[in-house]
Every structure is written in structure tokens, then in C-alpha cells.
């Protein structure tokens, strides 16, 4: 259930926040709600997973014996030879 909230925020910050929300194709209310939710989850130690990340999770199969550090080190060695 949504609840109406009244805030007093500097006008220039609100204007820039509206532009940011528009660039992210969301509402200012949703942007603020997401921010507050991330603060709450970080305080709890939880990590919030965005819907996009949840949707993409499991798309790529990675073999269990793959060591990303070794692969990245090998990539860097080849890159800078």
C-alpha cells in the first residue's frame, strides 16, 4: 500500500532529481523509494537485486571448475605482451 509523504527539499535538488528520474525512465517517487529501499537493505546487510539482474540471472552457464581470476590474469598477460 502506498502512502503519501511530504518532504521539504531544496528546489534545485528536486529539479535535478526529476531530470535524473526522467533519464532513467522512472518517476521521482520511484527513484526515491528505490534509494530508501537500498539504504534499508544495506543497513540490514541484505543486498537488493534489481528486477533486471534477477531476470538475467542464470542466463549464462559457467562451469564449476572455472577460476575467473586465473582467466582474467591470462587475459591481461596476453593483452600486454
Average pLDDT over residues 52-74: 79
* pLDDT tens, residue by residue, 34-57: 888 888 877 766 666 777 777 777
**What is the band of 27 on the pLDDT scale with cuts at 50, 70, 90?**
very high
The pLDDT of residue 2: 87
Copy the grid coordinates of residue 76.
591481461
Instruction: Please tell me the pTM assigned to this model.
Output: 0.51
Per-residue pLDDT of 5-26, as tens digits, reads 999 999 999 999 999 999 989 9
How far apart CA 54 and CA 18 sit, in angstroms, is 26
Q: What is the pLDDT of residue 65?
A: 74
**Domain coordinates in residue numbering, the chain:** 8-57
Answer yes or no: are the C-beta atoms of 37 and 46 closer than 8 Å. no
Q: Cα torsion at 26, 31, 34, 39 (round to 10°)?
A: 160
DSSP-derived 3-state class of residue 50:
coil
Amino acid at each position: 500500500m502506498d502512502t503519501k509523504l511530504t518532504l521539504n527539499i531544496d528546489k534545485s535538488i528536486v529539479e535535478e532529481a526529476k531530470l535524473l528520474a526522467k533519464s532513467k525512465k522512472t518517476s521521482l517517487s520511484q527513484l526515491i523509494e528505490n534509494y530508501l529501499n537500498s539504504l534499508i537493505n544495506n543497513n540490514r546487510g541484505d543486498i537488493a537485486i534489481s528486477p533486471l539482474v534477477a531476470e538475467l540471472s542464470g542466463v549464462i552457464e559457467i562451469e564449476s571448475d572455472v577460476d575467473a581470476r586465473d582467466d582474467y590474469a591470462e587475459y591481461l598477460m596476453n593483452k600486454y605482451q
